[in-house]
Structure 1
Amino acid sequence: MTTLLHEESTSPAEDEATTPTPILVKWDENEPANPFNWSTRYRAFITLQLGMIAMAASVGSSIMAPTEPTLQKVFHIGHEVSVLCISLYILGFAFGPLCWAPISELWGRRVSLIFPMMAVGLFSIGAATSQNIQSVLITRYFAGLFASSPVSNVGAIMGDIWPPKVRGTAVVFYALAVVGGPTLGPVIGASLTVNPHLGWRWTEYIQAIWTFTVTTIILIFLPETYAPVLLKRKAERLRKETGNQAYYHRHEMTKLSPKIIVTKHLSRPLRMLFTEPMVTCIALYASFVYGLLYMTLEVFPIVFAQHRGWGLVTSSLPFLALLTGVGCAMLVNLANQPRYARLVDAAGGKPVPEARCAPMAVGGIVFSIGLFWFGWTANPKIHWVVPVLAAVFIGAGFNIIFQQCINFLVDTYRLYAASATSANTLLRSALAASFPLAATPMFNNLGVGPAMSLLGGVAVIAIPVPFLFMKYGVTLRKMSKFAPVDDERPQANKETRA
């Protein structure tokens, strides 16, 4: 009896003494599993995969643009309905990120890419085999909905594997695939449509073939890159190997329920869009230039086919001028990298988002020049080379702005980069979906010169945006609920503002 009382009196103390102290799992110094410690060659291979999957999604947005006249004849529809093949796909880009970004931050990046892209291939086949316009439009919308996954999440993956000092270089080459896709799509689509042995349906078959091919590659070779998911797996492994249940990571404590998924994860991109001034301003700026890129899908046929009488394939070739401009933009963005690296070093290795704004300012000026130039040289009396050169400026200005917007958001929000870029994708895709619908009546009623001048005026009004971020960016980040703000060194801030 005495022994029993003694055991009862000491067991609570023994339990307290033997309760393990929780051990938070972190990366060890130079740990090979940390994505930042992977070799440059391996990370470049990952970036190549991401570029291919992003191009598969972005080419699909414009590849059916040249098929509009054919669809009108085959399905007996008007121009406004045929344009929906483009607009609905882009509209899918707007709403898909609300799902794929939270999934990437809960279960990892691989899941958020592989399964959606498989669906893109299936819906592309569905569009290719459709027997009525309703089926074409429905399958195109859902293809865009799933294709939004790489468009919204790949930028965040870049932040997972590339340190801020060199991330800009990687994003330059990735953005070439994202932005180049919509400019290549019309050329590919026109070539397939005019071929009597292929036709408009092969625009979607080619889309499916490319999508399944690239998805198979990333299924085999793309690793998980999201640090919280990797650290969670590390904690699970340590508990199994050591038998010590004290190892844990905060990501394991994420509890899921329908209410939490809706109120916290699915709503995060929307909350960031409407409550984060930086996300709102960047999204508005990127949305305008992104919308104009897709407006060219309708404007170029007016200028080169309707006014100059060029054929379907020939009138799509000026899109290659846009692609040339996109390539030229790489030079500007790469030229900023040494300056950005100096600022990162001055800030103790911390990201300096405001240092991304100087190229953005250059892009805004180049973009505005290109719009006015194109608008007032599109007249058939002027040699075609002149407006085509203007298209180079439009492509260059757009790509400079687009790349730096991605870099700015990834630098600023880090772990929440997927949600931040998804908020950006939501707004810009919604606007881009509406621009092609408005292009034909706007340019036919106002004329190419006045209509393009109106858009150029808006572009000029937006030029001060990057200058405002250079001056007030740090202050805005300190007000943010999602953006971690490190103690930047004074000289870094001073040079950034300069």
Structure 2
Amino acid sequence: MQSYLQYRRLGKSVRSQLDNASPVKETPTAARDSDTDTPTNPDEISQHVPRSNQSPLARTASWGSSRTALAYSIAGIDVQKQSESPDQPAHLFIVGWDGPNDPQNPRNHSVASRLTATLLVSALGWIVGAATSINSGVLPQNTEAFHVSDVVGSLVTGMYLLGFAAGSLVSGPLSEILGRNAVYVSSLTLFMIFIMGIFGCPPLTCAGGTIADLWNPLEKTLYFPMYAVLSSSGPVLGPAVASYMGQTGVLSWRWTSWIILIGSGAILVLIILFQPETYGPLLLKWKGKHLRKMTGDPRFRSEMDMEKIALFSRIGGAMKRQFLITIHEPIILLISLYMTVLYIVLFTFFDGYAFIFTDMHGLSQGLTNIVWVAMYVGIMLSGFLLPFVYRGTKKNFTQAAEAANGADPAVDPRALDNVHTQPEIRLWFAMFGAPFIPISLFWMGWTDFPSISVWSPIIASSAFGLGTICVFISSYMYVIDSYGIYAASALGFMTVSRYCAAGGMTIVGIPFYRNMGVHWTLTILGCISAIMVPVPYVFYRFGPAIRSWSRYAITEVVKV
């Protein structure tokens, strides 16, 4: 609905532009329908004749070279001269935004509209994330109903995560062809039918793009963490939602799927009604279509119209680029490895919490599921870091904007749009949170005894949530700022790798905890995560040098 309304608004905006276009000098009759005498001098274009009663559309249809002159008079149109050839026109009219304040540009929408769009994407991320874990809350009832072992029952979560990995290969390229909304709506519709991970991955691969469409680099410092905190609550709170299902006789364990279906349906309705299309190249493609229709001139084209790459070729190219960008980039390799370790720990907790809290401390199944709320408390605590991180980031961006073009962002917020400052400032979250991860795992592992209060591992789980979300926020923002146009490929590999590993480890989590015991399992995971702690500090210190070796990373930044 919102996409359709945007399409209509673009049409009205184009018609208004044509109605208000400056009249141009009529060309001689012999030159009509010819493109060879196109006025290219702005002074020549400004020599207007009095406006007639004809509409711009009628004048455009009857004057040859005046079509090109009209294109010069429309804001946002870049007239490009082509090499002379009978197979192509002498000029192309490349459609762009009317200017930095074009109201059709998603970054110029009201704060309320952009915030609503961000919250809807966060809600979408929440529901597909909750589906990864909600079945772990009813694992005993699930296995009993199907007469299978706990390991086989955990395949539900494992296969779902592997589906996330597979879908991530194609959802990113699709969003850059069909637009964000088309992918969100179609994938969520299929997700509701099948509740399969392969259809639930777009919020993971496309949400970063949506937020980048809506907010400038400084604003992302606030709104990407907001998205991360809200959407990451899905996997963490999924077991809590299923706390007492199948145990009280009120709701059976099958309601886990019904709740995901109902929640998905509600979010789908909200997205259809209120989520705007945010992908700028697609909006400009719509604008070009309106211009071609209203002027009858096929030379109005957007950058997307110029691309002639088939869908499957683009998907194949994106998959190939994910592999190529990875084998050459130590930044992506190490950050992907770090995220993989964190997700292995997180998703093995779906099996391990029963060993940690039920077997060791005697909590009921329902209370063990509710304990997951403590981890989300830790995730929300990251919000207290935002004022300090934002203040430092704003100071850095302001200095960079002044050094780059002498502009004051306080007067002109657009001065920040094209400023590339050091991406390493995005690592502040991770540098704060990384030590909490091994500390929390050692803490949870070696205080998990019946003689020690159950609150000790509960508080430790909050520390793990705080550390994990800080590393997640920094990892995404650092990769986005470091790789620019190649960020989608880098993030795609990060998503595929961590969900493949997490899907496999979810299945082996039960034998791991059962055979190694809680203490040694968490000790091993804590040691592995401790090895990864220096990663954000190393990149903060040596990141500029590492990026200078890269063939893909952004190296031209403003140093302050």
Q: TM-score, normalised by structure 1?
A: 0.87
2:109 is the counterpart of 1:38: yes
The aligned amino acid for 1:428 is R
Q: SS state of the match for residue 144, structure 2? A: helix
Instruction: Show CA shifts across 1:169-188 (max 9, x none).
Output: 11122112221111111111
Alpha-carbon distance between aligned partners in 1 of 2:272 and 2:287, rounded to the nearest angstrom: 22
Alignment-derived partner of residue 377 in structure 1:
447
Give the superposition deviation at 1:445.
2.4
Give the superposition deviation at 1:91.
1.1
Alignment-derived partner of residue 436 in structure 2:
366
Structure 2 runs not aligned, ≥5 long: 1-29, 39-88, 402-415
The aligned amino acid for 1:299 is G
Q: SS state of the match for residue 252, structure 2? A: coil
Structure 1 runs not aligned, ≥5 long: 1-9, 125-142, 492-498
Alignment-derived partner of residue 283 in structure 1:
336
Name the Cα RMSD after superposition: 2.2
The aligned amino acid for 1:363 is G
Instruction: Show CA shifts across 1:428-464 (max 9, x none).
Output: 1111112222322222222222221211111111111
| Aligned pairs (5 A) from 1:5-404 | 16-17=36-37, 19-27=89-97, 28-124=99-195, 143-257=196-310, 260-348=313-401, 349=416, 350-351=419-420, 352-404=422-474
Distance 1:477 1:111, change over 3 A: farther
The aligned amino acid for 2:511 is P
The aligned amino acid for 1:433 is G
Alignment-derived partner of residue 559 in structure 2:
490
Alpha-carbon distance between aligned partners in 2 of 1:185 and 1:243, rounded to the nearest angstrom: 54
Q: SS state of the match for residue 196, structure 1? A: coil
Kept after mapping to 1: 8 A contact 2:378/2:462: yes
Give the superposition deviation at 1:259.
5.7
Distance 1:192 1:272, change over 3 A: farther
Give the superposition deviation at 1:262.
4.3
Greater mean deviation of Cα atoms: 202-211 or 440-449: 440-449
2:511 is the counterpart of 1:441: yes
Give the superposition deviation at 1:398.
0.5
Alpha-carbon distance between aligned partners in 1 of 2:483 and 2:273, rounded to the nearest angstrom: 29
Q: SS state of the match for residue 250, structure 2? A: coil
Instruction: Show CA shifts across 1:464-489 (max 9, x none).
Output: 1112222333344445454444x322
- Give aligned-pair identity as a percent: 28
Kept after mapping to 2: 8 A contact 1:102/1:419: no
1:419 to 489, 498, 502: 489
Greater mean deviation of Cα atoms: 409-418 or 389-398: 409-418
Q: SS state of the match for residue 447, structure 2? A: coil
Alpha-carbon distance between aligned partners in 1 of 2:472 and 2:378, rounded to the nearest angstrom: 13
Alpha-carbon distance between aligned partners in 2 of 1:357 and 1:196, rounded to the nearest angstrom: 48
Instruction: Show CA shifts across 1:214-269 (max 9, x none).
Output: 01110121111112212222222333344444432222122233662343134333
Alignment-derived partner of residue 495 in structure 1:
none
The aligned amino acid for 1:237 is H
Give the superposition deviation at 1:367.
1.3
Q: SS state of the match for residue 466, structure 2? A: helix
Q: SS state of the match for residue 304, structure 1? A: helix
The aligned amino acid for 1:325 is G
Greater mean deviation of Cα atoms: 225-234 or 383-392: 225-234
Which structure has the larger Rg over C-alpha atoms?
2
Kept after mapping to 1: 8 A contact 2:339/2:472: yes
Alpha-carbon distance between aligned partners in 1 of 2:400 and 2:369, rounded to the nearest angstrom: 47
Alpha-carbon distance between aligned partners in 2 of 1:435 and 1:420, rounded to the nearest angstrom: 23
Q: SS state of the match for residue 22, structure 1? A: strand
Distance 1:483 1:255, change over 3 A: farther
Alpha-carbon distance between aligned partners in 2 of 1:417 and 1:110, rounded to the nearest angstrom: 20
Greater mean deviation of Cα atoms: 82-91 or 337-346: 337-346
Q: SS state of the match for residue 23, structure 1? A: strand
Q: SS state of the match for residue 190, structure 1? A: coil
Q: SS state of the match for residue 540, structure 2? A: helix
Alpha-carbon distance between aligned partners in 2 of 1:82 and 1:443, rounded to the nearest angstrom: 16
Greater mean deviation of Cα atoms: 391-400 or 248-257: 248-257
Distance 1:415 1:224, change over 3 A: farther
Alpha-carbon distance between aligned partners in 2 of 1:32 and 1:414, rounded to the nearest angstrom: 25
Kept after mapping to 1: 8 A contact 2:376/2:462: yes
Alignment-derived partner of residue 140 in structure 1:
none
Alpha-carbon distance between aligned partners in 1 of 2:96 and 2:206, rounded to the nearest angstrom: 24
Alpha-carbon distance between aligned partners in 2 of 1:408 and 1:116, rounded to the nearest angstrom: 28
Give the superposition deviation at 1:55.
0.4
Alpha-carbon distance between aligned partners in 2 of 1:91 and 1:334, rounded to the nearest angstrom: 37
Kept after mapping to 2: 8 A contact 1:51/1:177: yes
Alignment-derived partner of residue 428 in structure 1:
498
Alignment-derived partner of residue 128 in structure 1:
none
Alignment-derived partner of residue 127 in structure 1:
none
Alignment-derived partner of residue 4 in structure 1:
none
Instruction: Show CA shifts across 1:373-399 (max 9, x none).
Output: 111111111110111111110011001
| Aligned pairs (5 A) from 1:444-463 | 444-463=514-533
Give the superposition deviation at 1:293.
1.2
Alpha-carbon distance between aligned partners in 2 of 1:438 and 1:335, rounded to the nearest angstrom: 40
Kept after mapping to 2: 8 A contact 1:300/1:315: yes
Alpha-carbon distance between aligned partners in 1 of 2:246 and 2:252, rounded to the nearest angstrom: 4
Aligned residues: 462
Alpha-carbon distance between aligned partners in 2 of 1:355 and 1:416, rounded to the nearest angstrom: 19
Q: TM-score, normalised by structure 2?
A: 0.78
Give the superposition deviation at 1:17.
4.5
Alpha-carbon distance between aligned partners in 2 of 1:331 and 1:242, rounded to the nearest angstrom: 54
Alpha-carbon distance between aligned partners in 1 of 2:324 and 2:185, rounded to the nearest angstrom: 27
Q: SS state of the match for residue 280, structure 1? A: helix
